[in-house]
Amino acid sequence: MEEFYLKDGRKVYVRPLEAGDFEGFCCFFEQLAEETIYTNQYPGRPRKSQEAYNAQLYSENFCRWVAIDENGAIVGTCSIGIERADHPWLKHGAGFGIMFLKEYTGQGLGRFFMQKMEQWARDKGVHRISAEVRAKNVAALALYLKCGFVVEGLARHAAFINNEWHDHYYISKILD
């Protein structure tokens, strides 16, 4: 298990998601859904089934890490997956997601996990990493641009949240 010190001095532990994390993982997403509209979690969303949860643990084309506080609670996660690993033309593309509880944002964890995620992609021979981000998500855009991603397009009115339409940017990075 790796240790990471936040900018304010607190310590978190980082490791891949494990089978025993199921309950903590569900609680994490429930809290996240209350805190932000910038992920696709939403309050009241049904929990993942244990089967769906287990499926992500044992795939060689997908990796998820978690950040854990000193009390053992999951406070963040980052994942990356090769979506069409079986397709000869599309197997070089991967999508990612990254999210932390509010109390843990702006503390350097984003940079740390993006590097980890990119290294996994390079080791797997991935050529293109991509994601969608709400256009108003200033923190995520700042992080992605600082990590070498570029905005390659805009999806207008991609989400309708609290009576408001939100545009999404498509962002990507090509790995040399």
Ligand X SMILES: CC(C)(COP(=O)(O)OP(=O)(O)OC[C@H]1O[C@@H](n2cnc3c(N)ncnc32)[C@H](O)[C@@H]1OP(=O)(O)O)[C@@H](O)C(=O)NCCC(=O)NCCS
Site residues (vs ligand X, CB under 6 A): 36, 38-39, 98-100, 105-111, 133, 137-140, 142-143, 146
Q: Closest-CB residue for ligand X? A: 110
Segment (H or E) for 80 = strand 74-82
C-beta of 54 vs 159, nearer to ligand X: 159
| Residue (91 or 139) nearer to ligand X, CB | 139
> Nearer Cβ to ligand X, position 82 or 140?
140
Q: How far apart are CA 69 and CA 88, in angstroms?
A: 41
Question: How far apart are CB 142 and ligand X at their closest, in Å?
Answer: 3
DSSP-derived letter for residue 21 is G
The nearest distance, CB 40 to ligand X, in angstroms, is 9
Say whether 10 sits in a helix, a strand or coil.
coil
- Least separation in angstroms between residue 88's CB and ligand X is 29
* CB of 68 vs ligand X, minimal distance in Å: 15
Sign of CA dihedral 102, 106, 169, 77: negative
Residue closest to 92 by CA, chosen among 82, 102, 79: 82
Nearer to ligand X, 56 or 91 (CB): 56
**CA neighbor of 104 nearest in space, from 9, 2, 3, 1:** 9
